[in-house]
Amino acid sequence: METKTIKNYYQARGLAWPGQKDALLFYLSEVGELAEAYLAISPVELNEEERQLLSDFASLGMQADEIVSRVDGWVRNFDRQRKENIAHEVADCNMMLSVFMESFEGRTPDDALQEKMELKLGKSLDTLARD
């Protein structure tokens, strides 16, 4: 996701742009919320090991959330008290991963993914459309 949109959203909400460490913790918090939401709605059957893994992610995400909730400029949404919405949790993960990448390296995850794919293919992705 392009971070210009995210920056406009942050500005509209009065949020401070986090540094890379806080952005990573925000991302981990969102992954925990996604794991928690997925467990709550149980769209597929999970074995005990899988349930425990998702539960552990949810707990660790809550721990990350507790840390980042003390960061200045952060406004807590209390998403964990709302009805589970997988699409919104995925969107939050996408946003926070983009914020982390922008803070860490000044580019988007999409840019990094394209670079990685092209390295593995040994050619530009643009050439695939012509092949």
| HEC-encoded secondary structure of 29-56 | HHHHHHHHHHHHHCCCCCCHHHHHHHHH
Q: Is pLDDT at 74 greater than 80 in this prediction?
A: no
- Could you tell me how far CA 113 lies from the centroid of its own chain? 15
Four-point Cα dihedral 31, 35, 36, 37, nearest 10: 100
Mean pLDDT of the chain: 90
Domain residues for the domain of 59 are 3-106
- Would you say residue 119 lies in a domain? no
- Would you say residue 45 lies in a domain? yes
Question: In this structure, which amino acid lies at residue 61?
Answer: G
- Would you say residue 78 lies in a domain? yes
Q: Is pLDDT at 76 greater than 70 in this prediction?
A: no
Number of domains composing the chain: 1
- Would you say residue 124 lies in a domain? no
Angular region, 103: left φ>0, alpha ψ -120 to 50, beta rest: alpha
